[in-house]
Amino acid sequence: MKVANKLLIATAVSGLLVSNVFADSLADQGKKIYSNNKQGNCIACHAVNGQTLDGPGSLGPVLTGLSYWPEEELYKMIYNPYESKGHITAMPAFGKNGWLSDSEIKAVVAFLKTIN
């Protein structure tokens, strides 16, 4: 019985470690999309609070406190900001226009959730 419990605990811990590595790589992928002028190019308009990124623009607001936002709201803002809570914005609808795929938007959201 003790061996089974130890095996169960080891399996759970290894699952958590794998999920943390995956989450980190997803956020890293999102940061690349955020900074890439052939993909999201979010950096053209948005600086990030507390981070030094090469060449942030000033058209959009400085991104801060996004770690506290619900993932669904961040996703909707990227997919189609015009329908998200009635925001009036110059930000393009990256998902609706087909510029970013579902998985790319999720990666950007994972990066945005790292911003305090």
Q: How far apart are CA 79 and CA 82, in angstroms?
A: 9
CATH code, domain with 81: 1.10.760.10
pLDDT at 22: 54
pLDDT digits (tens, 9 = 90+) for 80-102: 998 876 667 889 999 999 999 99
Q: How far apart are CA 89 and CA 96, in angstroms?
A: 15
Q: What is the pLDDT along the chain (116 residues), one digit of tens a residue?
A: 555 444 444 454 444 444 445 556 999 999 999 999 899 889 889 988 877 776 667 788 889 999 999 999 999 999 999 887 666 788 999 999 999 999 999 999 999 999 99
Counting the structural domains of the chain, the total is 1
Three-state DSSP class for residue 63: strand
Q: Could you tell me the two tokens for 37? A: 């002028």
C-alpha pair distances (Å), 81 with each of 9, 21, 38, 77, 90? 43, 30, 20, 4, 9
State which residues form the domain around 95.
2-112
